[in-house]
Structure 1
Amino acid sequence: MSSIQIIPSKLKGHVKIPPSKSLCHRAIIAAGLSDGVSNIENIILSDDIIATCSGMEALGAKIEKEDNRFIIKGSKELRPKRREIDCIESGSTLRFLIPIALLTGEKITFDGRGRLKSRPLTPYYKIFKNQNIYYSSEEGLPLTLQGRLKPGNYEIEGNISSQFITGLLFTLPLLDGDSKIIITTELESKGYVDLTLDILNSFSIKIENNNYKEFFINGNQKYKAINYYVEGDFSQAAFWLTAGILGEEVECTNLNINSLQGDKVIVDIIREMGGNVAIDGNIITAKTSKTKGIVIDASQIPDIVPILAVLGALSSGTTRIINAGRLRIKESDRLKAITTELSKLGADIKEQSDGLTIHGKEKLKGGTVSSWNDHRIAMALAIASIKCTEPVIITGSDAVKKSYPEFFKDFSMLGGITNEWSLGREY
């Protein structure tokens, strides 16, 4: 486990935003299910993406890496090369690949590490029971499966995770018959479902979306190989845009302002809080601003809550983050994690069952904080250091490898002053 010491300083400059992790997962999987060779450009090997590549290779795809480009030879008829898939700590990998593995009819075991071992899989257990698919346990990972998915009606709750819906959207078009996904509650994280539908359409898979309440899926479809460029990740840009507001001018490149990513709303939220954000093509620039607290509905944007909590802690007035209960079942209990650690830095923040109430201050004090082995907590705390009066030490700082391995390199490039040391990797 690594720790990093940050000497408070204002960040300034320009940074190329890494590719969208959400789109990387989806493009790799779609290419792996295609008949032919796809070129996927602008991919960075974070731990989560390594997990998805390894999983798709286990199921029969061939993946070659050239710089930041992947050449993927798909396998329209999956034949497992390995019977065990290590999802590391990637919830997307686990939930996307479980139904895909059930295309093979073979016995396959999924495993993982950390909190992934206990993250909920209940919607899939219900499907396994309904379709008489063998599965080994309802107590998390390892999970062994054997059986085949059948076409038909699938009822899924929309307020646990959209990842279950995405897993089925990838798989059901390949079945020998038509299917329907029925969403039994209000669908949260619609933006992630939009990303899935867009990727599927790019790879020639057609799905009818009835107002996010039902999805109609024709069977016997085929994925067609394509060349695909992965756009920049707005959930990662959120850290640097906040850094620009709290520090000096930060310019973020490689962003698509017409993106379907739900986290694109970070631009609107910062502006509503009084922040100065300018858009010029694929460049978004945030400039030093005095911001004020607002009410933020997090139901569609769970991934940017930690950095929004930092911005709220350093804005005048009160910021309330609501409809964020699902953050308790992420890589950490993110509501508890960000409340605990920002409090150590001197923030006035309190957690509710499904949100946060934050009374802003002009400055925080600094101190030693923990990442909770959560990449987004680590990055949010690093940005909070900009407004601290004393150094910030983040233990478990290497958690950023999950999504953004170069985060602290980019942090230093923008003027951040860091000292890093390793205590030996822990899981």
Structure 2
Amino acid sequence: MARVRIVPSKLKGEIKAPPSKSITHRAIICGGIADGISNIDNVVFSEDIIATLNGMKSFGANDITKAYTHTNIRDNLTIKGNGKLEVIENTINCSESGSTLRFLIPLGALCDKEITYTGRGKLIERPLEQYYKIFNEQNIEYSNQNNKLPLIVKGRLNPGDFKLKGDISSQFITGLMLALPLLEGDSRILLTTELESKGYVDLTMDILKRFSIEIENNDYNEFYIKGNQKYQSNSIRVEGDFSQAAFWLVAGLLGKNIKCRDIHKDSLQGDKAILNIIKSMKGNINIKNDYIQTKESLTKGATVDASQCPDLVPVVAALGAVSRGTTTIINAERLRIKESDRLKAIATELNKLGADIKETKDGLRIEGKDRLNGGEVDSWNDHRIAMALGIISIKCSKEVIINNSDVVKKSYPHFWDDFQKLKGNIKYI
């Protein structure tokens, strides 16, 4: 198990945000279904993205070419689809990727073949009840092991009305949006609660439109999806990821000065909310058309509603731990069923470093301090916890040791390399 030892230092410099994992998942799936050749530019082959690539190979998108750049980090991807899905491999290993699992299950249910979905880590127990309810209503056969993976599904999805809760995970909505246009009849997705993480649904509809799939949005309460639509190939460039850039924007507030490129203020990404969060916490931020820059700041506590941006909670909690006053994070209960219980994980590990954080049912209450002490912490096998702990080292008096630090490979394989590029002092143990 890899560990990093970080000697506290103020990060500074310029960095290019890694490409959006959320957009990449969706583009790979659309390209794999589409008729023709699709080119996807600016891809990082993290473990989650590799899982989706392999899943689409199982559905017949076998002609996939990686065109490596000179950096060997950000690459181009060419996918040749044949306009339909066919089961080439009936066992799909989703690794630890919730997006892969929840996006591919409805697609598999279009094929009327028995398919087994496997995974590892916390993914095996991530809830899938929203799909089980649909399977029961449509007489689709399925079995699991005490509500855990592996999941075996056999049957064909039929068009109709699909009632979903909007406050569980937008991934279920995206999964249906990817599959329902291929059915012979029209369908509706009806939300029975208010939709959280609207930004992810916006991303889905935007990517689908680029591949010639139309979805009618009725005020995020109902989505009308015509059947007999056809995915058409396209070429797109994946924009930078706000959920990953957030770590560097916070690092700039805690350090000296960081300029983050390839993120855009007009992005549809829900995690663009980090810009308003930084403003609400009185951070020094400069938003330009081609970059966003943060500078060392005396930040203040604020109340942060995480319902639309749950992935930001670990790094916002780190910022709150060294901001004046109280930071309260609310509407974040869904974080308890992520790669880890992220509320418990970030509170536990930051407290080990000297923070003052208390868990609530749906969030955190953080009493800010000028600095933290330092010490040895664990990532809880969660990439966002590991990265947040790396960033908070900037404001520690003593070195920080992070156990299981290589978990960042799940989403951002070169995170620690970028940390060093920004003058971070890291030693691998």
Give the TM-score, by structure 2 length.
0.97
CA distance in 2, matches of 1:379, 1:324: 19
Aligned position for 2:328: 320
Counterpart selection for 1:110 from 88, 112, 117: 117
Matches of 2:96 and 2:82, distance apart in 1: 25
Q: Equivalences for 1:165-184 in 2 at 5 Å? A: 165-184=173-192
Task: Report the Cα distance in structure 2 between the residues aligned to 1:414 and 1:307, rounded to whole angstroms.
Answer: 17
- State how 1:88-103 maps to structure 2 within 5 Å: 88-103=95-110
Instruction: Say whether 1:86 aligns with 2:93.
Output: yes
Are the aligned partners of 1:257 and 1:282 in contact in 2 as well (CA < 8 Å)?
no
Q: 1:126 matched to which residue of 2?
A: 133
**Which residue matches 1:10?**
10
Correspondence for 1:76:
83
Kindly provide the CA deviation profile for residues 87-144 of structure 1, in whole angstroms up to 9, marking residues without a partner as x.
Answer: 0000000000000011111111000000000000000000111111111125120001
**3-state SS of the aligned residue for 2:44?**
coil
| Runs of 4+, deviation exceeding 2 Å | none
**Of 387, 390, 399, the match for 1:382:** 390
For 1:37, the equivalent position in structure 2 comes to 37
Matching of residues 216-295 of structure 1 within 5 Å:
216-295=224-303
- 1-structure distance, mates of 2:139, 2:203: 31
Instruction: Tell me the residue number matched to 1:24.
Output: 24
Query: How many pairs does the alignment contain?
Result: 421
In 1, distance between residues paired with 2:101 and 2:148?
11
Quote the offset at 1:267 in angstroms. 1.0
Measure the CA separation in 2 of the matches of 1:186 and 1:90. 25
Distance 2:273 2:134 in 1: 34
Matched with 2:380 is 372
Aligned mates of 1:405, 1:71 — CA distance in 2 = 21
Q: Counterpart of 2:103 in 1: which secondary structure?
A: helix
TM score, norm. by length of structure 1: 0.98
Note the C-alpha offset of 1:359: 0.5
* Partner secondary structure for residue 141 of structure 1: strand
Deviates more, 1:168-177 or 1:256-265: 256-265
Establish whether residue 161 from structure 1 lines up as the match of residue 156 from structure 2. no
Q: Given the alignment of the two structures, is residue 331 of structure 1 paired with residue 339 of structure 2, yes or no?
A: yes
Gaps of 5+ in 1: 422-427
Q: Distance in 2 between matches of 1:192 and 1:270?
A: 21
Aligned to 1:425: none
Asked if the contact 2:302–2:327 (Cα under 8 Å) also holds between the matched residues in 1, the reply is yes
| Farther-moved stretch of structure 1 (254-263 vs 116-125) | 254-263
Alignment partner of 1:73: what SS?
strand
Where does 1:296-307 land on structure 2 (aligned, <5 Å)? 296-307=304-315
| Equivalent-residue separation in structure 1 for 2:115 and 2:263 (angstroms) | 38
Which residue of 1 is the match for residue 71 of structure 2?
none
How far is the alpha carbon of 1:282 from its aligned partner? 2.1
Once the two structures are superposed, the pairs formed by residues 339-418 of structure 1 within 5 Å of their partners are 339-418=347-426
What is the distance in 1 between the residues matched to 2:310 and 2:200? 11
Q: Does 1:66 align with 2:74?
A: no
Q: Is the 8 A contact 2:106 2:176 kept in 1?
A: yes
The AA in structure 2 aligned to 1:9 is: S
Q: Distance in 2 between matches of 1:160 and 1:61?
A: 30
SS of match in other structure, 2:324: coil
Residues 262-319 of structure 1, C-alpha deviations (whole Å, 9 max, x = no match): 1111011101111111122120000011100010000000000000000000100000
Deviation readout 1:395-427 (Å, 9 max, x if unpaired)? 010110000000000000101111113xxxxxx
> Residues of 1 paired with 2:397 and 2:276: CA distance?
29
Whether contact under 8 Å (2:34, 2:84) holds in the other structure is no
Following the alignment from structure 2 to structure 1, what is the Cα–Cα distance between the partners of residues 371 and 409?
29
CA–CA distance in structure 2, aligned partners of residues 248 and 184 of structure 1: 46
Partner secondary structure for residue 389 of structure 2 = helix
C-alpha separation between the residues in 2 aligned to 1:219 and 1:310?
A: 46
Give 1:171 deviation, angstroms.
Answer: 0.4
Distance of 1:140 and 1:156 partners within structure 2: 20
Determine whether 1:199 maps to 2:195.
no
Structure 1 position 77, deviation (Å): 2.1
Look up the SS of the partner of 1:136 in the other structure: strand
Provide Cα deviations, 1:53-101, integer angstroms capped at 9, x if missing partner. Answer: 0000011113111110110011322111111110000000000000001
Equivalents in 1 of 2:378, 2:204: separation in Å?
33
Instruction: Give a deviation string over 1:197-217, Cα, whole Å, max 9, x none.
Output: 000111110000001100000
Q: Which amino acid aligns with 2:341?
A: D
Distance in 1 of aligned mates of 2:7 and 2:177: 46
Task: Calculate percent identity across the aligned residue pairs.
Answer: 61
**1 CA distance for matches of 2:163 and 2:86?**
28
3-state SS of 2:43 partner: coil
Give the root-mean-square deviation of aligned CA atoms. 0.7
- For residues 280 and 191 of structure 1, what CA distance do their matches in structure 2 show? 21
Answer whether contact 1:175 1:219 (CA < 8 A) is retained: yes
8 Å contact from structure 1 (residues 85, 109) kept in 2: yes
